[in-house]
Structure 1
Amino acid sequence: MSTAGELEQVYTGWRYPKEWLTEGFYLESPKLTYKDGYYYMTSAQGGTAGPATSHMIVSARAASLDGPWENSPHNPVIRTKHRREQWWSKGHGTLVDTPEGDWYLVYHAYEKDYYPLGRQSLLEPVTWTADGWFTAGDQEAGAAPAIGLPSKPDRALVSEESGGLGLHWHFWGGVHREDYRIDKNSVVLKAVPGEQSGPLLCIPVHHTYTAEVTIAVEDGAYGTLGLFYKLGFHYGIGFDGREAFAYRNGNTSERSAASGGSVTLRLINDEHEVSLYFMDAKGEWSKLDHGFEMSGFHHNVLGGFLSLRIALQASGAGEVRFSGFKYRAGL
């Protein structure tokens, strides 16, 4: 694949009203679809994040790739019109069709008031008009379909089918992805010195959720159960073999003695407010006083187009064993 000939600009986008609140004009990500003698260009404008009303999907068509390109009379095909809506910054759409002849727009958006969950994928049916344009969603209300989420999504550390690490788990930045082993139903992470190691992550999907894991450590190592956005923004609870402690970007506080060789750590995120618990050999849950408020852990504050993920991390020297991981919606 290579370019041929001189660079030529054939399309400049759709000029939305200046009074609209966006992140910027930012014409980007054109996708081409050929249908019934026309090339349809589906593009993003308005900025991927920023204000709730920023992003949008626009359409243009032409009989030739060289143009002239005609903007759709239905632009923007999809857009968040007001921050009261369920989905914010709706945009970056792709037209897809099925073998049955149905058409859809796949795009992403942020859920209202839940930026830390990151951009989520949405799907809307497309209707083709008699004059060859397409529309999607409720054009008056700007509505998007609700997404049903399982109350008990599979987040097991070890897959029952493969016996390996669950596919929904991933290492931050791909680093240290070989520094683990599976031992029966446990994942044993090699402890890495310092706080710049890549934790093992999975994506939560609920407004309120509880995560638990049992941790056993070797001398010189400590393990944590936390919430991670990116390096330098990682909060949670940990265990070093003797004490449970609150954990914030590598700094520990409120240490509490924990008896036995392992503890079960619990983290509850209740609509951005996080509380921390541990259970040692005595079999009773103890709550730390230290808690966190994490509604600001998202792209508009920290950049990166990331999300707040559940994190397991082994630090220091030696190994940390993680077992019995549980994730559930609610408290």
Structure 2
Amino acid sequence: MHYRNPVISGFHPDPSICRVGEDYYLVTSSFEYFPGVPLFHSRDLANWQQIGHVLTRTEQLNLKKAGSSGGIYAPTIRYHDGTFYMTTTNVSGGGNFYVYTEDPYGEWSDPIYVDQSGIDPDLFFDVDGTVYYTTSHDAHGQGAYQSRIDVKTGQRLSDVTLIWKGTGGQYPEAPHIYRIGDWYYLMISEGGTEYGHMATIARSRRPDGPFESCPHNPILSHRSLLKSIHATGHADLVQTPEGDWWAVFLGIRPLGYPMHHHLGRETFLAPVHWNEDGWPIIGDNGTVSESMPLGNLIPQPKPALPVRDDFDAAALAPVWTFLRSPAPENWTLTEKSGCLTLYGSSVTLNEADTPAFVGRRQQHFECRVAAHLQFAPQQDGEEAGITVFMNERFHYEIAVTRIAGVRKLIFRRRLGTLWKVESEMPWSSDSVVLTVDTDKSHYRFGFSANGEEPFWFGQGECGLLSTEVAGGFTGVFIAMYATGNGVRSVTPAHFDWFDYEAFE
């Protein structure tokens, strides 16, 4: 039997994992999106279900000043003595911190900050009770830097010291320490989270080094290979109850030539074997495929998410996120029963700010998204619809708006400094179904009055929303939004339902 990579598709980078009994928990980066740090559960490593987010309160996560691809960088999740810990970096304010909980399905603590610079923090609990805090490329240089901390207070108990510079690749990042047998292993990523990405490893008899480099580094990389998966790296190790080892790591699935990717960096899985000298080998000599043998894993599939969200629940499902710290006055689930209601603020999608925006990651190359919008704009500039969004400089919209007293449907592109309303037409109804179809190359935008097959209104290339064009570390979101285009809206935009249907 085989499993399919990626095991968590779409923009879910920098995975970190821990096991508690038969249960596995995994977190990924979230950057400028709120809530922060998506949290997943699995029983078999291959089938994952999002159970929530770690950072759900503004006291834990302030993103108001986060630029695109700012905010929350690579997290680490660990379990020790009955408590879960998640440590990460808010590069837009606060620096390195950790939170904790005894119940991963519940609330996590307020942040405990650590006076240590750098990013990609790791928590390691040694058998003698010492807790080591390791980060990458601090203000003094590049490599893995470490201190000892009091995990109850976050206070440093030692100076911060450089423990390994890596093998010479750029951006040695994402340190993780493991004690396996009599060895302490330090795994990092090098080469940048790009096409030269790789995972490398070293070991020592002490958690603070000196570390010797593995003779067959890198232990994971798809550099210069003719593969459908690229940029593999940023790995974390986990051991099954049966004693087998596996790695989770990020990768991308680029398209075309020159290659480009728009779904973001995704979470992949591979088995880990150990050679006679005690060094790990990830996958097939450091490479992986989209179809991989399950080995000793017993499949335990998770229920598929429903295609339609009717917004009947008291809270938004975990799949939904806001763009930066949400403004409570911009959205509600209670104003109109069974609807997500957005009130457009003065903020537009063209600003690194907090628009009225509720979105989900695009997780499949081929899918159809549709939403039923009830919206009767009362003042010029009021607008609501669906956006296909990479960042404030690269996005497409299909929307209802009011221009010079006339209600219209519009399709608009924003690509860097170039923007254009590509199509527009008068629209008299208070109700419309907006649809976005996508394949590997194009998005198609359409509308209908009563849910029949859409009238196709415009299209845009997927590649123009890729990281290679738009920049950054995130991936495409498809979102419901509203804006007053410079002034606050007075008209509510009611979204009665939202469909996400995958065709792969």
Any conservation in 2 of the 1:174–1:198 contact (CA below 8 Å)?
A: no
- What corresponds to 2:421 in structure 1? 252
Corresponding residue to 1:34 among 161, 174, 179: 179
Corresponding position: 1:164 with 2:315: yes
- Same amino acid, percent of matched pairs: 25
- What corresponds to 2:482 in structure 1? 314
Amino acid of the residue matched to residue 327 of structure 1?
Y
How far did residue 210 of structure 1 move?
1.2
The alignment covers a number of residue pairs equal to 317
TM-score (structure 1 length as normaliser): 0.86
How far did residue 144 of structure 1 move?
3.2
Corresponding residue to 1:204 among 355, 359, 362: 362
Corresponding position: 1:138 with 2:284: yes
- What corresponds to 2:398 in structure 1? 237
Corresponding position: 1:106 with 2:248: yes
How far did residue 118 of structure 1 move?
0.3
How far did residue 150 of structure 1 move?
9.7
- What corresponds to 1:188 in structure 2? 341
Any conservation in 2 of the 1:267–1:277 contact (CA below 8 Å)?
A: yes
1:18-49 deviation digits (Å, cap 9, x = unpaired)? xxxxxx62111211001111100011001102
Amino acid of the residue matched to residue 190 of structure 2?
Q
- CA 1:150–1:66 in 2, change beyond 3 Å: closer, same or farther? closer
Q: Alignment partner of 1:291: what SS?
A: strand
How far did residue 112 of structure 1 move?
2.8
- CA 1:77–1:244 in 2, change beyond 3 Å: closer, same or farther? same
How far did residue 294 of structure 1 move?
2.7
How far did residue 212 of structure 1 move?
0.7
- CA 1:177–1:299 in 2, change beyond 3 Å: closer, same or farther? farther
Aligned residue runs from structure 1 range 111-130, under 5 A = 111-113=253-255, 115-130=261-276
Q: Alignment partner of 2:389: what SS?
A: strand
How far did residue 310 of structure 1 move?
0.4
Query: In 2, distance between residues paired with 1:171 and 1:139?
Result: 40
Amino acid of the residue matched to residue 308 of structure 1?
V
Corresponding position: 1:227 with 2:392: no
- CA 1:40–1:266 in 2, change beyond 3 Å: closer, same or farther? same
- CA 1:267–1:66 in 2, change beyond 3 Å: closer, same or farther? closer
- CA 1:135–1:3 in 2, change beyond 3 Å: closer, same or farther? same
Amino acid of the residue matched to residue 48 of structure 1?
T
Query: In 1, distance between residues paired with 2:216 and 2:455?
Result: 57
How far did residue 298 of structure 1 move?
3.0
- CA 1:66–1:186 in 2, change beyond 3 Å: closer, same or farther? closer
Please say which of residues 117-126 and 198-207 is displaced more in the overlay. Answer: 198-207
Query: In 1, distance between residues paired with 2:302 and 2:445?
Result: 24
Q: Alignment partner of 2:216: what SS?
A: coil
- CA 1:285–1:66 in 2, change beyond 3 Å: closer, same or farther? closer
Q: Alignment partner of 1:210: what SS?
A: strand
Corresponding position: 1:268 with 2:437: yes
Query: In 1, distance between residues paired with 2:158 and 2:454?
Result: 69
Query: In 1, distance between residues paired with 2:250 and 2:268?
Result: 6
How far did residue 237 of structure 1 move?
0.6
- CA 1:283–1:110 in 2, change beyond 3 Å: closer, same or farther? closer
Query: In 1, distance between residues paired with 2:263 and 2:307?
Result: 16
Any conservation in 1 of the 2:387–2:480 contact (CA below 8 Å)?
A: yes
- What corresponds to 1:285 in structure 2? 454
- CA 1:68–1:305 in 2, change beyond 3 Å: closer, same or farther? same
Query: In 1, distance between residues paired with 2:470 and 2:437?
Result: 22
Q: Structure 1: where are the runs of 5+ without partners?
A: 16-23
- What corresponds to 2:149 in structure 1? none
Amino acid of the residue matched to residue 171 of structure 1?
F
1:170-226 deviation digits (Å, cap 9, x = unpaired)? 111123355212233211111222414252110121112111111111323321112
Query: In 2, distance between residues paired with 1:261 and 1:215?
Result: 8
- CA 1:304–1:284 in 2, change beyond 3 Å: closer, same or farther? closer
Query: In 2, distance between residues paired with 1:258 and 1:199?
Result: 23
- What corresponds to 1:176 in structure 2? 327
Corresponding position: 1:301 with 2:469: yes
